[in-house]
């Protein structure tokens, strides 16, 4: 009985300490690790979020770009940080879903290595075609490819990238063969389009905006489960005859495993308020990003679902990190 009393006293004491800590949290700057270089889409989203979170929490959010290994360097750093709410990760579909199946070894576990906080945004890719070709819809692209098996190419930013996996998925679902050509940067991709070497590509909208507006590239679909708020006139792949096709890059806040739930709740509430605030929403949409709000539990379930979905997609392509 005495042992039980001491045990319960310890539990109550720990619970009280956590609750008291959460009531004063945060009382110093918070580090937000962005596992990609500056000026990338992840960096743009992260800095918008950091600024607004700082306003809402009343503390400075210090952005820390720790790039490398497909985002795994930054993710590993956060997974090993103190679980006190002062080190956070802006995780992505790459760090928390795709990489698990691209790499033979990972320095962290996407599920057990973190506490989910909130999903904050998603970036549906656009499917673009070379505007010199007589293709103005997904159906026309499929018919054009079927008439020229193995003769067409699609571009991506690298093996195992979302663009690569999306192209491979369309090949599989439509029963076509458009060959994959990976490029190191988007500038080289534009050269490939201009030279007639590239027929199509899945990619984020923002880096292609100038080429789309100039007419050198033509959008024929987006990859979200519903039409994007920043391109409401463009149909989705699911509307274009492929109801199971949905693939978006996404961004979510994660904390190190063991971060107390009261702190997670504070962060989740602030994150959801941040991404739904009018000024942040406007800026996100302007960057080709759809804002998203969720609870920690919803993000946990979503991460599990995305891991399973990308397992199937990566196995389909046979892609492995170089």
**Domain boundaries, given as residue ranges, for the chain:** 2-123+248-317, 126-222
Domain 126-222 has CATH 3.30.70.1150: no
pLDDT of 154 strictly over 60: yes
Burial of 1 (0-12, 13-18, 19+ CB in 10 A): exposed
Element (H, E) at 126: strand 126-130
Edge-to-edge strands, sheet with 152-156:
178-182, 152-156, 200-203, 126-130, 217-222
Mean pLDDT of 87-100: 96
**What whole-number distance in Å separates Cα of residue 177 and Cα of residue 184?**
22
Predicted TM-score (pTM) of this structure: 0.85
The share of the chain scoring above pLDDT 70, in percent, equals: 93
pLDDT in tens, 5-21: 443 344 344 344 445 55
Match 């599989």 to its residue by tokens.
172
**What whole-number distance in Å separates Cα of residue 100 and Cα of residue 110?**
8
Match 């679909």 to its residue by tokens.
221
Mean pLDDT of 234-256: 94
Per-residue pLDDT band at 180 (split at 50, 70, 90): very high
The residues, any chain, with a CB within 8 Å of residue 108's CB and separated by 6 or more, are 72, 75, 76, 79, 80, 114
Residues 294, 302 contacting (CB under 8 angstroms): yes
pLDDT of 186 strictly over 70: yes
List the CATH code of the domain at 2-123+248-317: 3.40.190.150
């Amino acid at each position: 009985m005495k042992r039980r009393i001491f045990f319960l006293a310890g539990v109550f004491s720990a619970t009280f300490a956590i609750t008291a800590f959460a009531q004063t949290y945060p009382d110093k700057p918070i580090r937000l690790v962005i596992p990609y270089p500056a000026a990338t889409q992840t960096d743009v989203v992260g800095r918008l979020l950091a600024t607004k979170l700082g306003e809402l929490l009343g503390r400075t959010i210090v952005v820390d770009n720790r790039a490398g290994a497909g985002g795994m360097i930054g993710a590993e750093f956060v997974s090993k940080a103190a679980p006190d709410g002062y080190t956070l990760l802006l995780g992505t579909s790459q760090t928390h879903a795709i990489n698990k199946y691209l790499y033979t070894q990972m320095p962290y576990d996407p599920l057990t290595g973190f506490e989910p906080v909130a999903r904050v945004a998603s970036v549906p890719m656009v499917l673009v075609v070379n505007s010199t070709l007589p293709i103005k819809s997904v159906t026309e692209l499929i018919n054009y490819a079927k008439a020229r098996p193995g003769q067409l190419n699609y571009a991506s930013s690298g093996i195992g990238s979302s663009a690569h996996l999306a192209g491979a998925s369309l090949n599989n679902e439509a029963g076509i063969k458009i060959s994959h050509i990976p490029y190191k940067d988007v500038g080289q991709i534009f050269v490939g389009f201009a030279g007639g070497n590239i027929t199509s590509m899945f990619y984020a909208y923002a880096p292609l905006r100038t080429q789309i507006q100039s007419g050198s590239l033509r959008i024929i679909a987006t990859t979200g489960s519903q039409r994007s708020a920043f391109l409401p006139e463009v149909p989705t792949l699911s509307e274009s005859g492929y109801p199971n096709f949905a693939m978006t890059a996404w961004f979510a806040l994660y904390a190190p495993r063991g971060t107390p739930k009261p702190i997670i709740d504070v962060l989740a509430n602030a994150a959801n308020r941040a991404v739904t605030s009018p000024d942040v929403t406007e800026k996100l949409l302007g960057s080709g990003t759809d804002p998203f709000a969720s609870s920690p539990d919803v993000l946990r379930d979503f991460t599990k679902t995305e891991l399973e979905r990308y397992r199937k997609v990566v196995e389909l392509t046979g892609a492995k990190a170089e």
